[in-house]
Structure 1
């Protein structure tokens, strides 16, 4: 069975989005590239909620993205992308499919198909839905050495407690710390 991995960059005070929705504080230096390559090379599907899809689709297909990070831009182009949204009517990014209804059934079906890992990238609302359905196998939380003092918290809107078990910690020379958890049985 494939693993669903939720990956998110956060500040030390738990925000994934700073005040005014700013993301200019993301620290992707000092070993992050090797982690990112490992993560993407073991995956064949990317999952997004609407907001993250719109953000990613506005940046990654552009020529500038290929200049800045050809590896990720290529993966973003080539991997299957699935957008879960009840408000979008269409998606235009190549290799992208829209799921509007039957999210629970579609997500379970996707997870049970053969293939590589499924990456749920930076979509906190979709992560909450997948958590409620017990479909996340690993949480990769990359803590950046910055305190924002405001913004949107990673699990904003969570309704109940989830127990997790630490499975890996990775330090980066940039000061980032990757915390990997799995749901506790």
Structure 2
């Protein structure tokens, strides 16, 4: 049976580096389907197609990989799409996901969309969770850190796992 992998970023702000990109590419090694809710798909698919078509983009390699993998959009309102390499599924989410998981193939990955991911979790459909916690703040992301006058640089001090599965990641202000 295919697994569904959730990869999510928890960010103070919107920053990305080559190590995160390398992890994301490696995490796609055994994936042949990307799941989306409608809202996420409308931004994700065109953005990464543009990156894939721009060899000067620092994330070009990841963009190419995303462009190669078929997308499945779950929506109760969208009936067809002009997005490349995309299938739309309407109807019962849990039944459709279980059918996808039972098909032959590699694993399936989902990247977000709060309500979509919440529905997947609610129906106990996710098999693996990958959470990237990023402490960087440039001042152009979430309102908590906007506007910043200078980049908020933080240095990793400690990473402590707990028996319950939580991880405490400690940072100090890097000056």
State the TM-score, normalized to the length of structure 2: 0.72
Check the 8 A contact 1:7/1:119 in 2, yes or no: yes
Looking at structure 2, the residues matched to 92 and 165 of structure 1 have their Cα atoms a distance apart, in angstroms, of 44
May I ask how many residue pairs the two structures share in their alignment? 146
Provide the residue aligned with 2:3 in structure 1.
3
How far off is 1:150 after superposition? 4.4
How far off is 1:62 after superposition? 2.2
Provide the residue aligned with 1:120 in structure 2.
110
Looking at structure 1, the residues matched to 115 and 99 of structure 2 have their Cα atoms a distance apart, in angstroms, of 20
Looking at structure 1, the residues matched to 18 and 63 of structure 2 have their Cα atoms a distance apart, in angstroms, of 19
Check the 8 A contact 1:9/1:26 in 2, yes or no: no
How far off is 1:78 after superposition? 1.4
1:77 alignment partner, SS class? helix
1:95-149 CA-to-partner distances (Å, cap 9, x unmatched) read: 2100111222111000111221111112221111111111101111111114646
Provide the residue aligned with 1:130 in structure 2.
120
**CA, structure 1 residues 65+125, in 2 after alignment: closer, same or farther (shift >3 Å)?**
farther
**RMSD over aligned Cα, in angstroms?**
2.8
**CA, structure 1 residues 168+145, in 2 after alignment: closer, same or farther (shift >3 Å)?**
closer
Looking at structure 2, the residues matched to 122 and 5 of structure 1 have their Cα atoms a distance apart, in angstroms, of 11
Provide the residue aligned with 2:129 in structure 1.
139
Provide the residue aligned with 1:62 in structure 2.
50
Looking at structure 2, the residues matched to 138 and 168 of structure 1 have their Cα atoms a distance apart, in angstroms, of 16
Looking at structure 2, the residues matched to 131 and 91 of structure 1 have their Cα atoms a distance apart, in angstroms, of 26
State the TM-score, normalized to the length of structure 1: 0.68
Looking at structure 2, the residues matched to 28 and 110 of structure 1 have their Cα atoms a distance apart, in angstroms, of 31
Unaligned 5+ segments in structure 1 are: 13-24, 152-163, 170-185
| 1:45 paired residue among 17, 33, 51 | 33
How far off is 1:33 after superposition? 2.3
Looking at structure 1, the residues matched to 52 and 64 of structure 2 have their Cα atoms a distance apart, in angstroms, of 12
Provide the residue aligned with 2:82 in structure 1.
92
Unaligned 5+ segments in structure 2 are: 146-162, 169-175
**Is 1:32 matched with 2:20?**
yes
